[in-house]
Structure formats: structure tokens, C-alpha cells
Structure 1
């Protein structure tokens, strides 16, 4: 699809001073770890503190944190690189990631906050049979979080490799391992409260840094957006790689450069868009953010603030993407370690020199650390709260036991994400995140919407929908050209691809909705009408949010 092969023979120009770069990086890590340790001046033994920061954040604070959670390495490195290389087709990521928030705001944010307590499974199992639904929801959470983590690890490897001009595979792998270790430290030290403060600071720094880069682009171009697009087309016209592939410079401004050659690529374009728009409302680490505020009103306020920041950011990525194409050029970008993921730091060097590149890259690195910390907390909370406590211990586990299991899970997930992140280092990170969105939209969103808005929905329908969406999306990803069958696949030397689309959403999402409907009509009623009534009242009014649920 849009994977970039590492060009070993070329050395990128302008990667700055490696000593300065690493010094700025270390300074950022020390500062953020200090903030985490100060905020969490004692270890979290209370599950509410560890998972949700005690629900003590305001809507504005949580909106900043949501933006910090959402604006990941994929948003900055992957989108800028994709637009720089593919133009209009790359901008689909910006549009999809942003528009998706309308679904979360209008359909999910408030009722989810009113019904749940810690995790997405609290909502899905509220009026259904607890154990089987929690297990299915926890599995969906773990796989979505894992795919998202892989993208962040790959982005971190690309970022540091550009700054230090590292082309060696093993050196880049060591970078990914260090990121994973620091991420584990963030979560173990600070829990949700420490991670949230880092995400708030990081959101301000990232949006501010991107804003400064955008201003500097127009200072350098001196001609507005039209001049920027002309310059990008001129640079692409002189590119050996683009010319060899038979594209015209004007293709940067119209659909088709990446997705238009065959019917399979065109359907992949539709599938990707569907996954991005529907995926946000099913992302467990984003949904968990709604529990860090005290009321549903603050949850809505969180989303509004997040939309403002996220919308401004994605509009600016359009400018930065074409600016990277115009000022850096596709040849230099693809020759850098990490391929397309190197576009943003190389553009920063062009605009402000070595120090500016180091600062922007350090902010991007802090972005990676904060996002992977949030993902690790979500995955660990799901396993400890939904599987260990609710299923294995029948709800009798103490909060200290749950936190202990969560901490152990963070370590295991961190190690696993390091290994898979190393294997995916040369993938475009925006594409890797889109796979997580596809799984979330397939495995989680249908059941969330049915649980909240369809009174007849039952356990059989929930299990059919979640397992159909999860298994189908994972199988289709594994047998797609994204993993094998092409020179740019994750496993370029093999070919077991029989599914022609690079994104599974177009098939998996509708079938997951259909499975939920069929399973509901064929399955036995749960006979939990009193809980359906209570859930409806809670979701609409917030009354009784703190009361326990009696199954």
C-alpha cells in the first residue's frame, strides 16, 4: 500500500547535529518524567486513581489530554509524509481522523460517560451477561491498543533514526526498544494522572510547534497556498522516483496518485475512509478518557475542546505535507531512514535549522511517549478490570490486586509492542494506525451503538458482532497486500495475500453490524429488562452513575 522501503544507498541531507538532537531529546524525557513523578508523588493503589486519575480533571483539561492522546506519531509524521509523497490521497488521513470526532461527540461521548466507570466493557456488559461480553470487549481493546502501539513504536524508530542519521536495522531496533522501556516507566510511575498531565503539555507543544512551522512555511514560500502547490508540483516533476512510476505532477492535486490505478486500490480508498470516520468512536483509549471527568457535561466539553485543537492541527498538516514535498522533495524524503515518516523533521530542518529540527522532533517524541503510555494504561485496565476481576475473580478482587495485575500487564504489552514495532519500522505510521481504526470500527463500534440505542439487543448479538468484527478484520489484514504479496508489504519476500484491499473496513464493518442484528434475532433474550431501563435512564440523564449494577 503506502509502505516505504528504506533506501540504504542514500544519505539524507540536513539531519542536523546528532549531539544537539540527542541532548534536546534527553532534556524532554527528563522534564516529562519529572512531571509524571511529581504529579503522582505516591504509587496508585486505588484503581480509580490508576485508571482514570480519580475522575478529577475538568473538561478543558481533559480536552487537551484527548487531543494529546489522539494527535499521535501517525498524525504528525505519517500524514505529513503521506501528503508529501502522494498529495491529495494522503490528505484523506487528515479528513478522516478529524471528521470521526463528530461521530464520537454526537453518538457516544455523553451516554458512555453516564453508563460506564473505568472501561468500554462497562458499557457493553451493563445490560448483558457480564463474563462473555467482558472477555470479548477486552480482546478487542487489547488488539486495537496493540496495533496502535506498533504504529507509535515504528514512528519513534523513524524519528530518532533521522535525527541521528541511523541506517542500520539493529540500531533502529535499539531505538524502538528504548522508547518501549521509557513508556513502561511512564505508566508504572504516574498512572493515568501523570500520563494525562504529560498529554496536556504535549498537546499544547505539538499544536504550537506545528503552528510555528506553518507560519514559517508561508514566510519561506512568499506566495500563499497557490504558490506552495506550484512549488510542490515543480519538485515532483524533477523527482526520479515519481517520473519512473509514470505519474504527472498534477496528480498531487487530485485523487488517484496512490489509490486510483486499479479497482482494488479505489475500493481500498473507500475502505480506508470508512474505517477512519467510524473508528474513533470505538477506540478504547479515547473512550476511556471520558471517565477522567466528573460529569457527562464535562465529557461533552472535553470533546468540544478536543475538536478545536484537532481540527486546527489537521488543517495545518495539509500545509506541512505539501511544504515537505516542495521544500524537501520526495527523493530526499524516501532516502532518509524511515522513508515517508522522515518528511516532518526534514521540513523542520529546512525551515529553522538544526536546533528547530531538534525541538520539533523532541515534541514529536514526547507525543509518542504520551500516546503509548495512554494506550498501555487502557490495555492493562481492560485486562485487570474486565478479565482478571470480573471474570477470573468474579468481581471479588481488591483494587490493589487489580492495579498490581495492570502494572504486570503494562510490562508484557510493552515488550510485545517493542518486538512488533521493530518488525513494522519501515511502514508509514499513518497507515498502521488506520488498521487499528479498522479493528475498532469493526469489533467495538457496532456493539457500542446497539447497546446504547437498541433495546432488543442481547448477549448473543453482542458476541456475534464483536467476534465477527475482530476475527474478520484481523484475518483480512493478515491476508491483504499490506502484509505480503508486494515489494512494499510488511513481509516483502512472501505472498499469501488473497484479499485484494489494503484495509478491511469495507467488508468487516458492515458484516459486524449484520452479525449483531442476526445474532440478536436468533439468540435467546437475556431477560434483563430492568437493566435495560436503568441503562436508558443513566445514558440520557446521568442519574445513578455511581450506583452499583446488580445482575
Structure 2
């Protein structure tokens, strides 16, 4: 099947109908879930009413973005072994959450990451820094999802041209804002549970079909993929994408560090731990999330090599979505327009659920940390705080729509990696120091957050991602001096160093009583 036949045989009406059914069902669920959505705890944390199993499935739905479903499958189809390394990085990241973050965070905070960081520090500057970090990370992650939606439209719905794609980005953004305004965290969580179930089920069914097509032999599948790939047998060996030079190998190490450490500091992931009643359920959440993602990422391995064997690298690269089109094209090859319609619905459901999670996190951080605790000095009325959160969700949604339209067609892969790198650089060092180092101070917190944040953004701006390489955002100019595409290897240690130096050279001393209270609460849950 040629590329022309592939794209022309897609059925936009069917794809849109399947997606509309998903939206209708989830909007109904969101409406029903919103009936008891009255207080701050209901809006921000779903009243801590979800079990560990439910929250774990929702966590996987929050984390498995379009980049996971489409990007990793495409990377495996084109680059082989090196593409699967993304999956390994994402999975290992959850061990950091399980062992160091989930239980302590659930016991110490109430609604946002700012609650934990400001527990024994000066409230206003630390909450301002935490909110700044959360909003920047959420915006970059959201921008990537919305721009990714525009890129997928051309293939999945056969809509070409800037206006059509911009219109669909706007529709996706409006539905996402509606989820958040009506359902709050409870409605958003149910959307993520439904989406995760459909996504994993879709991946498993495609995997079983592919195994059947190759005689239930993984070796046959790999041999066919290598035979059709321009890389030949090197598709199955390390180094296809990152092995060409010392710099690319170092770039992979930097990317791996950012993925592993960034996932444990993403604000929309951390906020999910407040939707369960206690730390035991928080731990169960991580176990369930890891199990779901383990199954999913194993399936992407088969789907990626299946796309290489049945579709071929040339057709994938030539499609409107590039590497991201591997899974949809594979669905079209093995199941025709019906399966493509299902995959298109799953892809858009993925984008909707992830962006809804990011929106509620950004709006909660602004309303709770900035409005209630900085402007109102902790004396805001709960109803006013929720109203500000809803207004913020509308503003964030509008910014995401505009940003997604402007970034449509650009190199968006770096935005996701940047969000992980910023999260690890700005948040992880301060979270770990706050939880485990009794001498840590407000100055150290501010130095750690702003130092890591600024270092990360500066290094990305002067990297090959922005200028100086064929796939840079700005073509025809070269002002890069930092050789790596991902800054994590430098910016993450730098943020730990900033936090340490700010504490050592700062004038104020840590309050031992506040540290003792935080330690008891984080380990036992007393008072949480």
C-alpha cells in the first residue's frame, strides 16, 4: 500500500464519529462526577476519594501522552533499538517516585507541590517560585500536546492546510477546558482512567494481531523489520540513533537522566498523589501505574517493529506526521479505516486527557499558591479560590490553543524533553532537600528552583534544538554553543549545587522544630 493510498483511504467521517462518541461518553461521566464538586478539596484533589488502583490507572493515563503512544512507536520503527530506550527511561522513573516521593509527598502536602516546599520555609517567596516552575513546565508540556494534535490531524482526519488544523487544535482545547471547569480533578481523573483503559487495550489488541501475523514468533517479526528497514540488521543493535559520535552518546545519557528524574518531579504527576486518602494508597498508585505502563511499553516494542516490517521507514517518514504516523499507518495496513478510526480516537483521547491534567494542575497552583497564599496571605475564601482556579483554567486553555497553533509544524519533540528537564532541574532538588536535609533553607529553595530553571532554559536556547542543525527551530542561523540537545546532564546537577550553596551561604537558619514536624508527618502521616 503506497503513501497516497494510505492517506486517501482514511475516512475522516468515521474517525470524527469515533472521536465524538468518546467525547460524548467522557463528558457525561465528567458531568456525573461533578455533582459533589463543591469544596477546594473536591476541585483540587477529588476529595481524596480514589483508591490506589483507580489513581494508578489514572496516573498512567496522565503520563502516557501522545509522545508515548505515537512517538515511541515511530522511534522504534525508524531507529530500532535506540527508540525503545525512551520506554526504559520512562519506566525506571517510576521507581524514583515509589521509593523517594509518593508516600512522603502525600503525607506532607494538601493540594500542590508548593505545599510541600513551603512547609518549613517562608511561604510567599517559595510558593511564588513553585507556582512559576509549575506554570512553565505545564505550558511547555501542554504546548507539545496541542502542537502534536495539529500534526496528527493531517494524517488521522485527512485535514490539510493551516486553518483546518488550527480549528481542530481549538476544538481540542475547548473540550479540555470544559472537562476541567465542569469536573474538576474528579472528572479529569475519570477521563484519564477511561483513556488509559482504551489506550492499553488498543495497544494489546494490535500486539496480539501482529504476533499472529508473524506466527506468534518475535524472531520472525524482528527479521521482517530488519529486512525492510534501510538500516538492515543494525535496526536491532544499539547505536542506530545515538551511536554516531561521542556527543550523541552523551546526548542520550543527558536525555535518559532528564526522563528518569523529570518524571518524579512533574507537577501534574505529583498532584495525583493527593487524590488518594493515605500514603499506603499513594504507594499502590505507583505500583499500578508502573504495571500498566510496563504492559503498554512492551506493546510499543511490538507495534514499532511491526510498523517497520509492514509499513516501512520510507512511507512513515513521507507521511504528514513523520515518525508520529507509524502507529496510525500500521493500523490502516492491518485493519483498514475502522482500525484507523479507533487509533485516531485513542490518539485524540490521549491528548485530551493529558492536557486536562496539565490544565487543572496549572490552575490549582496559581489559585492555591499565588492567589490564596500570596495575595490573600492564607485567608482566601474557599469558594473564591475555586472560582480563581476556574478562571485560570480558561486563561491557560486559551494560551495552550494559541501556542499550539503557532507551534504547529515546528519541531515539538524537544518541548516534551524540555518539560522533563525543567521539572528535574527546578523541582527535584528542592523536593528532596526539603524532605531529607534538615539544614535546608528558604534561600536554598529559591536558588535551587530559579537556578535550575534559568540554567535549563538558557542551555536549550543555545543548543542545536534552536539553531545550528538541519532540524533546528530557527533555520539558516547558528548561535548555539551548547552541544547537547537536552540540558539535563548539566542543569540537574547545577540545581542541586545551587540549592546546597544557597543554604550554606544564606543568612537565615533552618527551624529545627519545623523540620522535626515535617519529618514526623512525612513518615507517619500524622496531621496530614
Following superposition, the deviation at residue 223 of structure 1 comes to 5.3
1:7-406 aligned at under 5 Å gives the runs 11=4, 13-14=6-7, 15-41=9-35, 44-222=37-215, 224-237=217-230, 248-406=231-389
Following superposition, the deviation at residue 227 of structure 1 comes to 1.5
Following superposition, the deviation at residue 506 of structure 1 comes to 0.7
1:138 touches 1:382 (CA, 8 Å); kept in 2? yes
SS at match of 2:229: helix
Query: For residues 219 and 432 of structure 1, do their structure 2 counterparts lie closer, same or farther at Cα, with a shift above 3 Å needed?
Result: farther
1:452-531 aligned at under 5 Å gives the runs 452-531=435-514
RMSD across aligned positions (CA): 1.7
SS at match of 1:496: coil
Partner Cα distance (1:475, 1:170) in 2: 33
Following superposition, the deviation at residue 12 of structure 1 comes to 6.2
Partner Cα distance (1:81, 1:371) in 2: 20
Q: Does 1:409 align with 2:396?
A: no
SS at match of 1:355: helix
Alignment gaps of 5+ in structure 2 = none
Q: Does 1:437 align with 2:431?
A: no
2:307 touches 2:327 (CA, 8 Å); kept in 1? yes
Partner Cα distance (2:145, 2:191) in 1: 16
Q: How far does the alpha carbon of each residue in 1:336-393 deviate from its partner, in whole angstroms, 9 at most, with x for none?
A: 2221111111111112111111112212211111111011000110011111111111
2:34 touches 2:182 (CA, 8 Å); kept in 1? yes
Query: For residues 486 and 370 of structure 1, do their structure 2 counterparts lie closer, same or farther at Cα, with a shift above 3 Å needed?
Result: same
2:441 touches 2:510 (CA, 8 Å); kept in 1? no
1:158 touches 1:342 (CA, 8 Å); kept in 2? no
Partner Cα distance (1:386, 1:255) in 2: 45
TM-score, normalised to structure 2's length?
Answer: 0.96
Q: Does 1:419 align with 2:402?
A: yes
Partner Cα distance (2:428, 2:124) in 1: 19
Query: For residues 431 and 311 of structure 1, do their structure 2 counterparts lie closer, same or farther at Cα, with a shift above 3 Å needed?
Result: farther
Following superposition, the deviation at residue 260 of structure 1 comes to 2.3
SS at match of 1:231: helix
Partner Cα distance (2:76, 2:13) in 1: 30
Following superposition, the deviation at residue 428 of structure 1 comes to 6.6
Aligned to 1:7: none
Partner Cα distance (1:214, 1:25) in 2: 22
Query: For residues 525 and 539 of structure 1, do their structure 2 counterparts lie closer, same or farther at Cα, with a shift above 3 Å needed?
Result: same
Query: For residues 422 and 326 of structure 1, do their structure 2 counterparts lie closer, same or farther at Cα, with a shift above 3 Å needed?
Result: farther
Partner Cα distance (1:462, 1:312) in 2: 37
The alignment of Structure 1 onto Structure 2 pairs a total of residues equal to: 526
